[in-house]
Every structure is written in structure tokens, then in C-alpha cells.
Amino acid sequence: MLKRCYICNLKQKNIVMAIMITDECINCGACEPECPNNAIYEGGAEWKYSDGTTLKGIITTLDGEDILADKPFEPVDMDVYFIAHDKCTECVGFHDEPQCAAVCPVDCCVDDPNYRETEDELLAKKSFLHL
């Protein structure tokens, strides 16, 4: 019997995976300016909700935490570019496909099996980031 791959099954159920950058990244920087949410950072850089979004002052995150939008968070990776998951909408609401993956010359922007969000959740994240 022909089996459907599990990623296809998830997409059919409107469940998509977040994007992550692997260690194969060559630090070319091509993806960073393409991200509509400013979710991509150079290795070792602190990330903030306020970078490239309309968030400012005290915000309530989608996890229900009250924080300053300018609060710096630890880098996710010290050596290569990384994606701040809390700011990645997989380009939903902006583009038909993840722009980082589209421009990456070494195809190291891949699905992250640890994060799965529905399209509605991604649209809610987009609305949260861009009032």
C-alpha cells in the first residue's frame, strides 16, 4: 500500500512545522533581510520581540507572559545564524513559502520537528507581532 509521508499528512491537516537553521549554515547572511518578522539573527546576537515589529513597551506574549518588548533574549546559537521561533510565522500572512529557505544557498533552513503550529496559530502570531 502506498504510504503518505508524515509531513504531507501534517500539511493536509493544516499543521506546519517551524523553520530552523542547521549547523550547515555558511553565515552568508542572505536570509536575514528576507524575513518579514525580523526573526533571523546572526550567531551570538541577542534577539528581541521589538526588532522589526510594531511591539513596544510592556507586551503580553502568546504564552501569557508580561515582558518588555525590548527585553534581550539569549542567542539560540553562538556560531551560525538562527531563527527566534517566537517570531517566525513561517512567512504565513506574507508569502507563499518560507523566504529564508527560498534564498538559502545551502538549503539549511529546514522544518523543525520540535515545533508544530497550525496556520491559524501562525496568523495569530503574525497579528501579535504586527498590530
- Residue among 35 and 45 whose Cβ is closer to ligand SF4: 35
Instruction: Name the minimum Å distance from CB 87 to ligand SF4.
Output: 7
- Residue among 10 and 30 whose Cβ is closer to ligand SF4: 30
Q: Where are the alpha helices (DSSP H) in 6-58?
A: 6-12
3-state secondary structure of 117: strand
53 forms part of the interface with ligand SF4 (CB under 6 A): no
Q: For residue 116, what is the enclosing H or E element?
A: strand 109-118
Report yes or no: 80 and 23 within 8 Å, Cβ to Cβ.
Answer: yes
Q: How long is the chain? A: 131
- Residue among 19 and 55 whose Cβ is closer to ligand SF4: 19
Instruction: Name the minimum Å distance from CB 96 to ligand SF4.
Output: 11
* Rounded-to-integer distance, Cα 62 and Cα 80, Å: 27
Q: Which of 39, 45, 55, 129 binds ligand SF4 (CB under 6 A)?
A: 39
Sign of the dihedral through C-alpha 103, 126, 93, 114: positive
Which residues would be at the binding site for ligand SF4 (CB under 6 A)?
19, 21, 25-31, 34-37, 39-40, 81, 83, 88-91, 98-100, 103-104, 106, 108-109
